[in-house]
Structure 1
Amino acid sequence: MRKLINILGVNIDQFKMREAVARVKNLINTQSHSALVVTPNSEILALASENENLARILNSADLATADGIGVVLASKIMGEPLAERVAGFDLISNLFKEFAASDLNFYFLGSKPGIVEKAIANLKNDYPQINIVGAHHGYLDQASQKKVFREINESKVDLLLVGMGFPLQEKFLDQNLAQLDVGVAITVGGSFDVLAGEVNRAPLWVQRIGLEWLYRLLQEPSRFKRILLLPKFLYLVIKARFLA
């Protein structure tokens, strides 16, 4: 039974990391349809609060984890505190560890040309036995999309990781997941860039004090406009909790 908290119209699972991993494993083994996992952060929730279609897509997911300290803080404001954040990158890292020696198949879809291949090469250094049955960058025209769909459906993919950035990846899966024979599809944002070594993740101590967003901003100043959504998000949560 899922236990959910609703934040600005979007349902978030009240799972710890180990519970989220178990949920993904269960979805692979039991779902009759291709399952969807999303990892919304405060920026995504702020945008979804003003876009009914995006909120609908997020709420259609079989698992939605709290990706970011802002979401955890919002849950406390709402009076239903989440036990911990379950960031998308951390979730897939735990899934790699859980399934690397199994017979489950991964497919990586997203990022710029060349990035996903570097990500796979680095990942195989840590997990030589991991079954990655295919990969493709995220720039798909009609012909390449048809080719990718055929590869996925012929490869018995258990875990499809889609990293096209929000909201493109969510819209892509909303439109196409029914055509794909996969166990679980997970939106992973910029995770392939991190795995490829193109972007450095914040040190663990920075993550623990909730300043990973600042670390990312210092690396990528172009994210400044996106960061401005964080105070807007907290304002909307406070308004929903106390002023609605």
Structure 2
Amino acid sequence: MNKTKPWSKIISKTANFKLKKGVTSFINPFSMLLLINEHLIAEEVDQWCIDGISLVNKLNKTLKLKYTRYSFDETSLAPKIFQYAKENNLRIALIGTKEEYIAKAVNNIEQKHNVKIYFTRNGYFNSDYEKEKCYQKILDLKVDLVICGMGTPYQERFLIELKNKGWNGYGLTCGGYLHQMAKSQNYYPVFFDKLNIRWIYRIIDEPKLFKRYFIDYPKFFFRFYFFRRSL
């Protein structure tokens, strides 16, 4: 089996963001490495968008397309999604981050965007039973919009499993957004956002991310070079 086949499927389903029912997730060089053998996720996610200016530039140059960066955070999609949810009376659930952060994240989101969060849960499940209870709660509450920040590939699996249980809402992954919102309503300083160097601020705030940007990102682009040659 072609180890990079999931990449082909993901790229074929990558588009500029459009809010639609089903599962939408976001790729960057780090998450692409994590998804390299995730055939089911590549197939079952309905829409992939690019979060990461380096990957946007690479794919636009390589594939001669016109992708734009989209991320579920305050610099990109979050304000628009919450505004849409408010205008259309959507019931919102937030799943992700650690227990000690989720309440603060919810409070900051509700205050900033003037929305009501109907259901929240941390992103750590100790058993399938706990996960099943969470799915059932979302179904019972008739939640319309689920924002899930558990990290790749766990957040994609969660939303795919929820969809396969008959849920027919808007499911979006959000990576570290909930963790960021627990810290501040405006996580990225304007300077870093305007210059598209948000990654530098993330390293300053979370030094553990140094490996991601300086080891994992180059590793992806190295593998992507040979992936393109194999097509």
Could you tell me the TM-score, scaled by structure 2's length? Answer: 0.83
Instruction: Figure out how many residues of one structure are paired with residues of the other and give that number.
Output: 221
Structure 1 runs (4+) deviating above 6 angstroms are: none
Mark the CA change 1:240 to 1:196 in structure 2 (over 3 Å): closer, same or farther: same
Mark the CA change 1:196 to 1:93 in structure 2 (over 3 Å): closer, same or farther: same
> In the alignment, is residue 122 of structure 1 matched against residue 123 of structure 2?
no
Which residue of 24, 29, 54 corresponds with 1:70? Answer: 54
Mark the CA change 1:145 to 1:47 in structure 2 (over 3 Å): closer, same or farther: closer
Letter paired with 1:171: R
Aligned to 1:3: none
- 1:136 Cα deviation from its structure 2 partner: 0.9
Percentage of pairs with the same residue: 24
Letter paired with 2:42: L
- Given that residues 156 and 182 in structure 1 are in contact (C-alpha distance below 8 angstroms), is that contact kept between their aligned partners in structure 2? no
Paired with 1:201 and 1:159, the residues of 2 have a C-alpha distance of 23
- Given that residues 111 and 138 in structure 1 are in contact (C-alpha distance below 8 angstroms), is that contact kept between their aligned partners in structure 2? yes
Aligned to 1:38: 25
Aligned to 1:186: 172
Paired with 1:140 and 1:115, the residues of 2 have a C-alpha distance of 16
Mark the CA change 1:126 to 1:241 in structure 2 (over 3 Å): closer, same or farther: same
Paired with 1:127 and 1:200, the residues of 2 have a C-alpha distance of 12
Could you tell me the TM-score, scaled by structure 1's length? Answer: 0.79
Paired with 2:59 and 2:190, the residues of 1 have a C-alpha distance of 22
1:214-234 per-residue CA deviation (whole Å, 9 max, x = no partner) reads 221122111222221111222
- 1:72 Cα deviation from its structure 2 partner: 0.5
- 1:243 Cα deviation from its structure 2 partner: 7.5
Letter paired with 1:216: R
Aligned to 2:159: 173
Superposed, 1:1-244 pairs within 5 Å as: 8-9=7-8, 10-11=10-11, 12-15=13-16, 20=17, 23-24=18-19, 26-27=20-21, 35-49=22-36, 51=37, 54-89=38-73, 90-128=76-114, 130-142=115-127, 143-179=129-165, 181-197=167-183, 201-227=187-213, 228-241=215-228
Letter paired with 1:172: F
Paired with 1:122 and 1:114, the residues of 2 have a C-alpha distance of 14
Letter paired with 2:211: K
